[in-house]
Amino acid sequence: MKEGLLDRRSFVTAAGAIFASTLTPASAEKLASAPAVFASAYRDDMGGFGAAVLTEEGSLIARIPLPGRGHDITRNRSTGQFVVFARRPGTFAVAFTADKTTQPQMITSRPGRHFYGHGAFSADGRLLYASENDFDNAVGMVGVYDATSGYRRIGEFPSGGIGPHDILALDDGVTLAVANGGVETHPDFGRAKLNLATMQPSLCFIDRRDGTVRERHELPPTMHQLSIRHLADDGRGGIYFACQFEGSPRKQPQLSGHCRPGDGIRLFEMEPHHISALRNYIGSIAANPAAGTLAITSPRGNCMFVLNAETGAVLSRRNLPDICGISPLGQDYLASSGDGVLLTGSTNNVDNPGVRWDNHMMPISNPERF
């Protein structure tokens, strides 16, 4: 997660009068009283899928249906357009606007590729980068799409490893950070993991202008089954990363850490009882540079931890069944669950009957470029 936070007034100002005019009276009233706005994919109780813009109190401001299960959402800070990616291995992504002034646009993966659930826009908003799988050659790719030309696919380059998942555009405007989970999949075998014995996860810093892998970081060989999956911007030119362990459940390695271009990669050292609670699986990660913290969630462990951003020391733990989505909120965090619950540190849980949130929660930000 990279986005900062957009308050309600900035969101309304940036979205403009057209947006306000498209809201139902009830939605307009909900937005008027909301201090913050977020976006997430969801599943409804009728078996349908969608993506929603919502307040921290769970009020749904806008939503669109999806043809299948969505995963992460990224946002074009120049145009305000969102793109939600299918859960891996998926072949669709959908571009949409919260104000519904344009029809949602389907983006389909090219033959021989499928999406891996995440993407990021360039700082100028012209290009969209998507993590993809060249499944016949077992090579991770970054697909390049022209957002100014109907999301026409204009190129691709290797991600630096197998199984790219999360991808971030760093603030230098040039560098893409890519988490190569190292897990090989092929659509002929669904979500089966085909290379657990030979995994080589990595974290790559790539020059988006020509696709050159400037730096490739790996964990020690003894941790080759520690899949690097999700990323969060530290606000200082580096990133935090979160992992999922694909080895024996009897082992409980560290699961999160930090890396900065030019420096090495390092894992945080959490206490054994905290690591045990994560069940070898972090589903999402978010940073809150203003608070000097980061947060990690484990839907398998039904818990989240807030960590000191420098040391990785645990500051607090909260428990919620199937918790996964996480986003900064003020000096704290907003978390979401697969049961449709929103959790903040300052208010009671908010239940959304009929809506079950997917793995990631994106804060909407940068009103000056909305």
Q: What is the pLDDT of residues 81-133, one digit of tens each?
A: 999 999 988 999 999 987 767 889 999 999 999 999 999 999 999 999 999 99
Question: Would you say 312 and 352 are in contact if contact means Cβ atoms under 8 Å apart?
Answer: no
Tokens 């909407």 — which residue? 364
- From CA 10, how far away is CA 5, in angstroms rounded? 10
Own/partner pairs, 336-339, CB within 8 angstroms, 24+ separation? 336/40, 336/361, 337/299, 338/299
Q: Which amino acid is at 126?
A: R
For the chain, the farthest-separated pair of C-alpha atoms sits apart, in whole angstroms, at 58
Supply 18's token pair.
Answer: 């057209």
DSSP three-state, residue 202: strand
Give backbone dihedrals phi and psi of 309, rounded to 5 degrees, phi first. Answer: -70, -20
Residue 295 has what pLDDT?
Answer: 98
Crossing angle between the packed helical segments 25-32 and 8-22, to the nearest 10 degrees: 170
Supply 210's token pair.
Answer: 């020509």
Nearest to 48 by CA among 321, 358, 269: 358
> Based on the number of CB atoms within 10 Å of its own CB, is 139 exposed (0-12), middle (13-18) or buried (19 or more)?
middle
- From CA 320, how far away is CA 349, in angstroms rounded? 10
Q: Which amino acid is at 244?
A: Q
Average pLDDT, the chain: 89
- From CA 333, how far away is CA 295, in angstroms rounded? 8
What are the tens digits of pLDDT across the range 221-274? 999 999 999 999 999 999 999 999 999 999 999 999 999 999 999 999 999 999
The share of the chain scoring above pLDDT 90, in percent, equals 75
Adjacent-strand bridge partners of 141: 132, 158
What are the tens digits of pLDDT across the range 124-168? 999 999 999 999 999 999 999 999 999 999 999 999 999 999 999
What are the tens digits of pLDDT across the range 37-86? 899 999 999 999 999 989 888 888 888 999 999 999 999 989 989 999 99
